[in-house]
Structure 1
Amino acid sequence: MKIGELAVASATQIETIRFYEREGLIPTPGRSAGNYRLYDDSHVQRLIFIRRCRGLDMALDEIRTLLRFIDQPGADCGEVNQVLDDHIGHVAKRIQELRALEVELRDLRSRCQSTSPGQACAILRELNHPQVGELAPRPASDVHTHVGAVHRRKAGVNS
């Protein structure tokens, strides 16, 4: 099947398929006489697996590790358990960060109860000129994104 058919069969956008191919998550397909990529059912299954993992908010390195175990079905699955345990820890940490963010946003929202025209919006004023110690920007090391800071992998786990 060609890439468009693979996209439909796996519910994956063509650019995403190409990205996963470049990242080595799906094997390089064969080529037709006309130099079109030719995919088969194994590509569909692998993409469905990857999409399921991404739906669970797993990072590409975690997926790589899991795919390695799919490719070696007789291997001990202890590392698979470790990947999931680590991911659960990342999710728990992100939940804590999101709760702290919610508190910060609620605090910011509570600063302005007015909707009257002509009055300076306290929220915008605070965002533009925070008081020392109040809603000041967090240092970059404290700002987390899922993949960036929360999902940094330990040495030896990335493969």
Structure 2
Amino acid sequence: MTPTTTHFTIGQLAGAAGVNVETVRFYQRRGLLATPDRAYGAIRRYTTADLGRLHFVKSAQRLGFTLEQVAELLQLQDGTHCDEARQMAERKLADVRQRLDDLRRIEQALAVLVQRCACHEGDIACPLIEALQEG
């Protein structure tokens, strides 16, 4: 299917977006993507706008936005709500930075424990297991 095609089956839409059909259906149930009408006896047809919406959802998810946050961003999509979108992005950035700080602390603690294990000699209990048991 070429990018200039304006009508997709659900399978073609999913393939073009790099997701599976169940993901498309899930997004429809969550209200992130409309379910197109179908003529009697015909299959549903999706448009390039639907493909764009799927790309939007996946791009937002790659940036760490939850599906609830993606739904909020979709409501701001007309371009007139830049301040609200920026505020959401600022909150997400603060959250990411906090998680990075947490991961750095975890990294440091694990590095110390790994070092203690590497230096471990004799019949003493494993320093890593001992540290985990102590909490």
So what's the TM-score if we normalise by structure 1?
0.68
Structure ID, larger Rg: 2
**Which residue number corresponds to residue 5 of structure 1?**
12
Q: Secondary structure at the match of 1:58?
A: coil
How many residue pairs match? The answer is: 127
**Which residue number corresponds to residue 157 of structure 1?**
none
Q: CA RMSD in A?
A: 2.5
Q: Sequence identity, in percent?
A: 33
Q: Secondary structure at the match of 2:118?
A: coil
1: CA distance, partners of 2:113 / 2:50: 48
1: CA distance, partners of 2:53 / 2:107: 37
2: CA distance, partners of 1:13 / 1:115: 49
Of residues 30, 39, 48, the one that matches 2:37 is 30
The unaligned stretches of length 5 or more in structure 1 are: 137-159
In 2 relative to 1, CA 20–110 (structure 1 residues): closer, same or farther, beyond 3 Å? same
Q: Secondary structure at the match of 2:76?
A: helix
**Which residue number corresponds to residue 106 of structure 1?**
111
The unaligned stretches of length 5 or more in structure 2 are: 1-7
Higher normalized helix content (fraction of residues): 2
1:96 corresponds to 2:97: no
Residue 114 of structure 1, CA deviation: 6.6
**Which residue number corresponds to residue 139 of structure 1?**
none
Residue 37 of structure 1, CA deviation: 3.4
Higher RCO, 1 or 2 (CA under 8 Å, sep at least 6)?
Answer: 1
| Contact 1:32 1:38 survives alignment (8 Å) | no
